[in-house]
Every structure is written in structure tokens, then in C-alpha cells.
Structure 1
Amino acid sequence: MHLIAAAIIAAIIASGVFDLYLKRRQAASVAANRAAVPVDFRKSVTLEEHQRAADYTLANIRFGLAETVFDTLLSVLWLTLLLAPLYAAIAAIVPAGLLRSVALVLAVGAIGAALHLPFSLARTFGLEAKFGFNRASPLTFALDRLKGLSLQFLLGAPLLFGLFWLLAAMPRFWWLLGWAVSVALTIALTVIFPMWIAPLFNKFTPLPDGGMKSRIEDLLERCAFESRGLFVMDASKRSSHGNAYFSGLGRAKRIVFFDTLLEKHSEEEILSILAHELGHFKLGHIGQRLAQSAAFMFIMFAVLGWAFSAGGLASAFALPDDPGVVLTIVMIALGPILHLAAPLTNWLSRRAEFEADDFARTMVGREAMISALTRLTRDNLSTLTPDRLYVLFYYSHPPVPVRVAELRTA
């Protein structure tokens, strides 16, 4: 086997093994602390709730272990056994050129989605249903998947054509222009998503008039936040998990509350959750996230530029030197790199969450924020005893016990 191919396959396997190790550490930490509620939460979380959260976490980990093994094996199989016959089958019916390259990438994506479908079904109608979270009907599930695949095709096919056209037209500098276009599209999607894409999956209705809406509008005024409206999303159509968010840029900003959040939380808790989200806006986290995304895409396109210009990557796997083949190999090989980069990206995200928590504390008070975090943890069955190393790699938000402790000492 070629040295490059062996190195990539070894990295994929090592990443999968490390992922299994981290998940087992998380399981051990949760199981070891299942018998007692952490001291700081004994007044707000019952032992039954704590144990149910532990059971839900452990069930998710067992499910995740199976997914990790499957994903690792599938990545190796794509590179060693599956990609060659798939390319041959496509080459037999699609002439050489841009269309063949695009068809290959789309086919790999479609086959991957089909192979992962049993996991999605088992998670939604098995695990999530067992713990009382799933509310999606089989029809809703099927329509969501159909809409998602349709959007991926409608957006992905033109982008792939553009990418491969740039590669042919500007073989030396195509990746720089491709990066610039991708950044512009990312910014455009933040505007388009709340207006056109999100309504394809959920219904958004204006927040009803009343005392809570008045208090929310007062908070928005104090934060100097302008939006296109306050909306309630029918999240209960699919799940009982609760949340809130705002999306969009400029005048297209929208504030959205899950209906499940409004059902379970007090007005003070809802205001604190909203204040946290507003903190991300006031403290410039949205721009920071876009900048981080642009930096990551720059690295990704630089890697693609090297892969396409250096040549030999496809031949290292005894595959045809087609742009679609090279792109597929790079996207599969990026998995271990993303895994190693996770502690940095998660640290940046967790730092922003701490800052947004502190902003919410100054706007609505410490106790309201602590109460909201505790209720979100309790209602979503989040563990209060995660493993520290697992947190580094998989928690984009700080664990709630750490966030509560930070709020209490602020």
C-alpha cells in the first residue's frame, strides 16, 4: 500500500479508536456518579431525575459507540473497496468531465445518507422515544429527510459544478477564489436560512401579545437589539427538547422560542435564556464565529489546493485521478483532523458561552440564569457529571455545573 494511503487509513482508525476511548471514559464517569446528585444541585434536582439523566446519557453513549465503529469502517471501506467500483459504475453512464465528478460526489453523499438511515431511525423512534423525547411521526421523519436531501442536492450540485469549473479554469489560484465565494455564501445563508429554509421544516408564529412579550421587548430595547420579530417554533412536532435562538444578520435577525421552552419555563427563566442569546450578539460572538468559520474554510481550501495541484492522491489509493475522487478522499481524510482540532474550536465556543452567561447575569440576575440552566439540564436529561477529557473534545458549551459555579462566583 502507498505510504500516503496507509497514513490516511491509519489516521482514520486511530481517530475512531480514540473516539471509543473518550466515550468509554464518559460512560465510566456518568455511571460512577449515578448514585448521588452533585452537592450544588441537591435542592433543585431529585435523585430520580439525576439517575434518569445518567441512564439517557449512557444509552446515547452505547448508541454512539456503534456509530463510531460503523463510521470508521465505512470510511476505510470507501477508500479501499467501495470508491473504485462506484466510480466505474458512474463512468459507464456519465461522460468524463464536470458532470462525472459532480455525480460521484453526490452519489457518495446519497449512499452515505442511506447507510446512516437505520441509525437515524433507531435514534429517533428507539432511544429518543424510550426517554419520552420523540414526537415526530414516521411521515414527518420521512418528509424531513426528503426535504433535507433535496436541499443538499439543489445547493450542493451548483457549488460542486462551480468548484470543479474553477479548478479547470484557474488551476493555480482556484482555491483562493473558491474560499472567497464560500465565505460569501456562508454569510448569505445566515440571512436566507431564517427567511426561506427554516420555514420548510417548521412553522413560525408571532409570539402572542401579553406581559411576557412586553418584558421581552423591554429587554431588547435595553440591549439595543433590533429584529424582524419574535416567533414561536413548533418544536413539539418533533421533540420535547426545549431551546431558543436568534438567527440572521442585519435587519433579517429573528428571535425564535421553541414552544416546548415556553411550556416548561417561567418568565424569568425565559428572559434569562434570551438575555444569554442577546449576549452573543452584544459581545460580537456572531462576527467571531463567522471569522472562525472563514479561517477554517481557508485551511480546508488550502488543503484542497495542495491535493489537486500535487497530484498522486487518487493514485495512492489506486483510483482514477478525477477531481471528484480527490475531493471525496480529502473530505474523508479531514475527519481525523477535525477530531484533533475539536478542543480548540470547543474552547473558543465555551469561552463565548461564559461571556454570554455573564451578560445575562447583569441583565436579568444570577438566580434566574442558574434556574434556567438547571431546568434545561433537568428537562433535557443532560448529565451533571461528565468526564473532563470528553468535555474537551465534545462539549461546545461548558458543563452546566461549571457554568453555575462561574455564575455564583461572578
Structure 2
Amino acid sequence: MVEHILDLPVEKQIFYAVLGFSWTVYLWEAYLSYRQRRTYRSTTSVPQELWKIMDSETFEKSRLYQLDKSNFSFWSGLYSETEGTLILLLGGIPFLWDVAGSVMTRVGFGSEYEITQSLLFLTLATLFSAFTGLPWSVYNTFVIEEKHGFNQQTLGFFFKDAVKKFIVTQCILLPVTSLLLYIIKIGGDYFFIYAWLFTLAVSLVLVTIYADYIAPLFDKFAPLPEGELKADIESMSKSISFPLTKVYVVEGSKRSSHSNAYFYGFFKNKRIVLFDTLLEDYSPLNKSGEPHPEQQEREDTSNESKATPKNKKQGCNNSEILAVLGHELGHWKLGHMVKNIVISQMNSFLCFSLFAVLIGRKELFVAFGFNDSQPTLIGLMIIFQFIFSPYNELLSFCLTVLSRRFEFQADAFARGMGKASELCSALIKLNKDNLGFPVADWLFSMWHYSHPPLLERLRALGSIKQD
């Protein structure tokens, strides 16, 4: 079989190598998922280490939730891999490029308007992806998440949100892509440096404006009310010289009862964002009586999301919130954000440099059905998505390992602030609220978990003794 492939033209060798590696990765991921599903099925009782912190009812709920998610992931992954294979085998990429070209011709534009044709191609491709992915997204939200008490959306809200996301994405993606293609076209021999600097500038701008201008298009952000929690957050930030300017609460409960917290901003302008589902006294999901007034108003006026949650969530008390933020601030104090940015940009520069070497290779285009033209956008797709796929898989694994190391370091930072017990308590509550399963297959965990499993974190914090 291998000898037969080696006898083929180099274009065919490239094509089949890409296809073969894609299926190799899929089969590896399927094997890892099988191992983890086997863990879900076989671990039916609470491990002895968790007897004091997890009841059997919560353990069973989390087991069934994660089993449903894993089964869904298997079928959606199989569909995605099959779809991608058929697109390559049937020449879907050149076909869509020709469709875009035909539309251009009808409106009076010739082949010299490559950037315009590229944007039309990109729009058609994202539309296709949105439509084929929509049934899976609907099933995940309204069957799996609904079944396990997480979904807070109605169908109307879901589809309105999907359309809004598509429009906002296109408003960002198309101008950025057109400028990138223009830079590559006019950049000369050193275009890869200018392209890298451009993507660096775009990423920094997006990170800066996301929470202030983009995220509020989808979720409501409100300042955290004055009180003990806000005063304690400001005091803790000041104690480690974190340049905090604002603390927001985002109304995540209108979508899902999952919880989160993060900070953003550069230099002396840092903001902290807390999901309302994280706070035990703030979110309507944590109220057993009347729904939150703002959520009731949405119910009365637009019926965009559900006013009454299925399951009451614990959330975290003030001391636990501070412990969680101590962990997040640990990432900042230890320079994890800067390190991640440096690694990302080094990788970006390397990829653009290699792209500059490979973009002139006609056989890469011929391998994917482009015999008569070499569009820059198609070159970016082929090289970054297909040719670099082995490197991308290796890099992804290395970043997962590094992320897990950073998480342990951030936990240790919070412990150094005297918040170990509160962080343990918060991790247990969040694991329960999000139905996280505390037992993981070692190989699945090593490959996929950017955050250490609950048991490992509790052991590292000294809450659970190592056997």
C-alpha cells in the first residue's frame, strides 16, 4: 500500500498524506474518548477519597452528563471527519472557489479581483459550515444541556443569537482577511514579517476591545455592586499590585448555568469579570423564590430566555470567590499571560515564515484541485490547515501540558495567599455545579485536560492525602 502511494505523482502523495493524517488523528481521538467512556461506565460509585466531599447523587448525575457528552462528541466528530473527507475527495474547495468566481463574473468583476473573490468564497464557506453545524449545536443545547439542567435558552433566543454571532464574526473576519491578503500581495520578499505584525496588532486590538465592545452585544455586563465583596476584591488586587480598574458581573445565566470568571486588559487597565452563576447570592439560578427582576422582565417583554431554572446551583460565597480570583490573579502575577502571548506569537511568526517558503510550490495547489490558479487565501488554508496539521497537533499537546503546569502554579499562588481551604471548597462546589466528573483515564487526561482533574488539584492543595 505504501509503495503504491509512493509511485503516485507528488501531488497525489501530498493529498493522501493529508487525508491519512487527518484520519489517524481522528482514530487516536476516538480511542482516547473510548477509554474515557469506559471510565464513565465502570466508575459507578464515589471514590473513597471523595466520600467526604461528594454525595452519590451528584456523582451519578455528573457521570451520566459526561457520558452523554462523550457519546455526542463521538458522533459529531465522526460526522465532521466524514464531511471533511468528502469535501476533499469531491473537490469541494475548488468547486466553492469557482462558484465565487462565477458570481464575480456575473456582476462584472474579472479574475484580477482575487481579494474580492476570496471574501465571497470565505462567506460561502462560513455559511456552509454554519448550516451543517447547526443541527449538532441545536441537539447539544436543547437535548443534552437541557436534559441535565444547564440550558436556559429558548429556540428563539438561540437562533437570534446564532444570527448575531454570524454577522459580528463576518464584520471582523472579512476586513481582517482582506487586509491580510493585501499585505501578502504587496509585501515583497518580507511579506511574512508584515503579515505577522498585522496579525499581532489585530489580536491585541481584539483582546483589548472584546469585553468592552463585542461581548456586550451578546450578554449584559453590569458593575459589581458596592459592598463587601467588591471591597475585598479591590483590597486583594492592591495587595499584589494588580492594576484593577473595574469589576463586572456578566449575565451568563440567560444562556447556561455553567459558571466562570476571568480578567482582561493590558498595562494599567485591568478588569475582572464574574459570571452571575458563580455568585451564590447574585444569579437568579441561585434563588429559590422569585426570579431575578431583570430576567423576569426579559420573560415578559421578549421571552428570549427562561425565567425559572431547572436546578438551583450552589455558587460560591465571598471567601470562595476571592480564592478563585486569587488563582486567576496568580496567572497574572506569575506571568502566564505574557508567556502564552510570547509562545503564540513565536509560533505565528514561524508559521508565516514557513508559509513564505511554501506558497510558491504549485504542487500544493494542484494536490487540492487548483490546477490553473494559486489564490493566496487558498494557499493560507492549505498550508496552515492541512500541511501544518502534524505540527499543530504536537503544539496543541505541548500547550495542554504547559497549561496544566500553569494551573498548578496558580493554585499554589492562591495557597500562598492563605486561601487553600477556600479554593478547595470553591473547586468542589464548581465541580458539582458544572457536573464535572472527578475520575479521568490517565491517557485521556494527559492529552486533553488543560486543567488538572479535581482530585489532582485537591491533592496538590493538601486537601486530600496522596495514597
Tell me whether the two structures share a fold, i.e. TM-score over 0.5: yes
Determine if contact 1:75/1:332 at 8 Å carries over to the other structure: no
Q: Distance in 2 between matches of 1:190 and 1:322?
A: 30
Q: Does 1:50 align with 2:59?
A: yes
Determine if contact 1:272/1:372 at 8 Å carries over to the other structure: yes
Structure 1 residue 171: Cα displacement: 4.6
Structure 1 residue 331: Cα displacement: 4.4
2:219 aligns with 202
Aligned match of 2:202 in 185, 199, 209?
185
Deviates more, 1:176-185 or 1:118-127: 176-185
Q: Does 1:297 align with 2:314?
A: no
Larger Rg: 2
Q: Distance in 1 between matches of 2:189 and 2:67?
A: 49
* Structure number with higher helix proportion: 1
1:286 aligns with 337
Q: Does 1:351 align with 2:408?
A: no
Q: Does 1:322 align with 2:332?
A: no
1:339 aligns with 393
Determine if contact 1:275/1:364 at 8 Å carries over to the other structure: no
Aligned residue type for 2:421: E
Q: Distance in 2 between matches of 1:299 and 1:45?
A: 46
Q: Distance in 2 between matches of 1:113 and 1:337?
A: 27
Structure 1 residue 199: Cα displacement: 1.0
2:69 aligns with 60
Determine if contact 2:101/2:117 at 8 Å carries over to the other structure: yes
Aligned residue type for 1:301: F
Q: Does 1:267 align with 2:277?
A: no
Aligned match of 2:438 in 380, 384, 401?
384
Unaligned runs of 5+ in 1: none
2:96 aligns with 86
Q: Distance in 1 between matches of 2:184 and 2:197?
A: 14
Structure 1 residue 38: Cα displacement: 2.0
Q: Distance in 2 between matches of 1:169 and 1:231?
A: 43
SS in 2 for 1:85: helix
For 1:10-409, what aligned pairs fall within 5 Å after superposition?
10-33=20-43, 35-81=44-90, 82-94=92-104, 95-96=110-111, 97-263=114-280, 264-319=315-370, 320-333=373-386, 334-408=388-462
Q: 1:152 to 1:331 in 2, by over 3 A?
A: farther
Aligned length, in residue pairs: 409
Structure 1 residue 335: Cα displacement: 4.8
Q: Distance in 1 between matches of 2:32 and 2:238?
A: 44
SS in 2 for 1:312: helix
TM-score, length of structure 2 as denominator length: 0.84
Structure 1 residue 113: Cα displacement: 1.8
Determine if contact 1:90/1:104 at 8 Å carries over to the other structure: yes
Structure 1 residue 336: Cα displacement: 5.0
Q: Deviations over 1:234-277 (max 9, x none)?
A: 01010001111111212332111111110221222111001111
Determine if contact 2:219/2:250 at 8 Å carries over to the other structure: yes
Q: Deviations over 1:123-177 (max 9, x none)?
A: 1111101000010222322232222212221111122212222222235322221
Q: Distance in 1 between matches of 2:389 and 2:74?
A: 16
Determine if contact 2:36/2:440 at 8 Å carries over to the other structure: yes
Deviates more, 1:333-342 or 1:59-68: 333-342
Aligned residue type for 1:246: F
Deviates more, 1:325-334 or 1:352-361: 325-334
Structure 1 residue 122: Cα displacement: 0.7
Q: Distance in 2 between matches of 1:70 and 1:330?
A: 23
Aligned residue type for 1:37: V
Determine if contact 1:171/1:309 at 8 Å carries over to the other structure: no
Determine if contact 1:227/1:254 at 8 Å carries over to the other structure: yes
Determine if contact 2:330/2:413 at 8 Å carries over to the other structure: yes
Structure 1 residue 357: Cα displacement: 0.5
Unaligned runs of 5+ in 2: 1-7, 105-109, 281-314
Q: Distance in 2 between matches of 1:136 and 1:253?
A: 31
Q: 1:88 to 1:76 in 2, by over 3 A?
A: same
Structure 1 residue 223: Cα displacement: 1.9
Q: 1:336 to 1:131 in 2, by over 3 A?
A: farther
Aligned residue type for 1:64: S
Q: Distance in 1 between matches of 2:81 and 2:127?
A: 18
Q: Among the aligned pairs, what percent are the same residue? A: 31
Q: Distance in 1 between matches of 2:175 and 2:355?
A: 18
Larger relative contact order, structure 1 or 2 (CA cutoff 8 Å, min sep 6): 1
Determine if contact 2:187/2:194 at 8 Å carries over to the other structure: no
Q: Distance in 2 between matches of 1:329 and 1:252?
A: 39
Q: Distance in 2 between matches of 1:56 and 1:348?
A: 28
Aligned residue type for 2:374: D
1:8 aligns with 18
2:297 aligns with none
Q: Deviations over 1:51-97 (max 9, x none)?
A: 11111111111010012111211222222211232122111121322
Aligned residue type for 1:350: R
TM-score, length of structure 1 as denominator length: 0.95
Q: Distance in 1 between matches of 2:427 and 2:389?
A: 32
Structure 1 residue 341: Cα displacement: 2.6
Q: 1:332 to 1:74 in 2, by over 3 A?
A: farther
Aligned residue type for 1:345: L
